[in-house]
Amino acid sequence: MLATTIDVTVNKTEHSKLAGFSLENLPFGRDFTDHMLEADYEGGEWKNAEIKPYQPLLLSPSLAALHYGQAIFEGIKAYKNAEGDAFIFRPYDNFKRFNISAERMAMPQVPEEIFIEGMKQLVALDKAWIPQIPDHSLYIRPFMFSSDEVIGVRPSENYKFLNILSPTGPYYNAPMRIYVEEQYVRAVPGGIGYAKAAGNYGSSMYATAQAKKKGYDQVLWTDAFEHKYVQEIGTMNVIFIIGDKAITPDLGAGTILAGVTRDSALTLLKEAGFTVEERPLSIDEIIDAYKAGVLYEVFGTGTAATITMIKELRYKDFVMNFDTDKWRTAPTIKKWLTDIREGRREDKYGWMVKV
C-alpha cells in the first residue's frame, strides 16, 4: 500500500468538443470526451496523476507493451437518472478485478486514489457528456500498459495508467448466432483467462473471424482439454435457463472472466425466483436439455451490451434454435438492470456510486 495520498491535478480544456455534438445514437467506442486521466508508475511509485485534455500519446517504438503485451483494461458505465444526477455502476468491482489482472500480468497495483477517485473526478468533469437518454450511457475505459523503452523480455519497470470516456448507445444487440468452438481455445487453467488482458482479445480474433465466415456472430469457447465444458462468449459470460434453474460455468478453473454483469444478472435471477448454479456445464448436458425441451433461454452478459439473447447455438452439425420473441427471463433481467442503472428501480444492492 502507498502511504501517501495521491492528488490528481486537473487541467481543463479551453475548447470543449461538446457544443454542437449530438449524444444520440452514437456507436460503441468511437467518440471520446474532452478529458482523460493519465498517471505514470516510475521508480516504484505512482506519480504525475493528471486529468487533462483528451490527446494523443507520444510513445517510443521500443515501448515494451507493444512488443510483449503487458496491457490490461476495464469496462465500466456511467448513467444519468431523470434528475440529471450521474452514477457509476459497480466501479469497486472493476477496481478489484483490474488489480487482479495487474497481479497476473506482473504489473503494479493501481491505488484507489487514481482508479476510483480519479474516475469520479474525470466523470464529474465530463458529466455533460453522459447522455440523458434511455439506453444510452458513458462507457469508461481504464487501462494500463508497460512503458519501458527497452526491448528486453522482462516485466517493465515503468507503466502508464489512463482512463478515457466514450459516450455510447443504444447498443442494438440483435439476438446472436453462436458457434461452439472446438478447435481453437481462449483460456487454459494456469493461463490468463481470468485477467482482462489485451492478449486474450488479440488471440481470440482469428477463431471469431472463422466463425463469421460460417455465418456466426461469435464463438462459445470450450475447455482446452476435451472441448466439452463451455466457458464464455467473446466479451460476454453466458447463462443458460434450464428448467427452473439458471446455470452458468463456475469461475474455479480461472479460465473465465468474472463479469460484473454476470454477477449482477445472477443476483437478479435469484430475486426472480431462479435457483442459480455456478458449476461446470457440458455441451452434452446443454444438448440433452434442448432435446428434452427444458433449455428455455441462453444469453450473454457484459458491460457493453448488458444482456444479449442467443437465437442459435451450433455444436458440430447439431443446431439449437430458439424463438427469442417468446422469452421472458432475459428481457426481464435486462429491463431490471437498465431500470436500476437509470434510476427507475430501487438500487437495493448498492450498485450505483454517485459521482
Ligand X SMILES: *Cc1c(COP(=O)(O)O)cnc(C)c1O
* Residues engaged in binding ligand X (CB under 6 A): 75, 196, 232, 235-237, 257, 259-262, 301-303
H/E element, 77: strand 76-80
Bridge partner list, 39? 161
The smaller minimum CB distance to ligand X, of residues 175 and 259, is found at: 259
Taking CA atoms, 136 is separated from 60, 64, 88, 171, 287, in Å, by 37, 36, 13, 8, 36
The smaller minimum CB distance to ligand X, of residues 70 and 237, is found at: 237
Q: Write down the least CB distance from residue 196 to ligand X, Å.
A: 5
Q: Write down the least CB distance from residue 87 to ligand X, Å.
A: 16
Bridge partner list, 220? 180, 233
Q: Write down the least CB distance from residue 302 to ligand X, Å.
A: 4
Please name the amino acid found at residue 69.
G
Q: Write down the least CB distance from residue 303 to ligand X, Å.
A: 3
Residue 102 phi/psi, 5-degree rounding, is -60, -45
Residue whose C-alpha cell is 482439454? 225
The smaller minimum CB distance to ligand X, of residues 33 and 303, is found at: 303
Instruction: List Cβ neighbours of 61 (8 Å cut-off, separation of 6 or more).
Output: none
The smaller minimum CB distance to ligand X, of residues 303 and 338, is found at: 303
In whole angstroms, what is the distance from residue 96 CA to residue 91 CA? 9
Q: Report residue 238 as a C-alpha cell.
A: 453466458
Q: Write down the least CB distance from residue 304 to ligand X, Å.
A: 7
The smaller minimum CB distance to ligand X, of residues 118 and 302, is found at: 302
